[in-house]
Amino acid sequence: MKKVIVNALKLNCSEGRIEKGETVVLSDVEIAKITKIRPDILTVLEEVEPERKVAAKPATKTARKSSNAKVKSIK
C-alpha cells in the first residue's frame, strides 16, 4: 500500500474518481496496473501500512414471541 498523488485531471480507480492534486492510498498491484497504461499519472509519496479490518459484530436480535404464544385478549 502506498500513498500517491494524482497528476492528471482525473483518474478512475478502486477508490472511485480521483481529481488532480488529491492524495489516495492504493495497493502496489493497482499502482503498477495504472502506471503501465499512463506512466506519468501518479507520484508515490510514501509507503503506508495496510489497515487491519476488524470484523463487525453481528447485530443483536431482539426477543420475539413465537407465533403460537398465548396472548391475553382484552374483553
DSSP string, 4-56: EEE-SSEEEETTEEEETT-EEEE-HHHHHHHHHHSTTSEEEEEE-PPPPPPPP
Please state, rounded to an integer, the average pLDDT across all residues of the chain: 84
Structural domain spans, the chain: 2-38
The better pLDDT of the pair 69, 8 is held by 8
pLDDT band (50, 70, 90) for residue 62: low
The three cell numbers locating residue 67: 407465533
Count the neighbouring beta carbons within 10 Å of the beta carbon of residue 41: 17
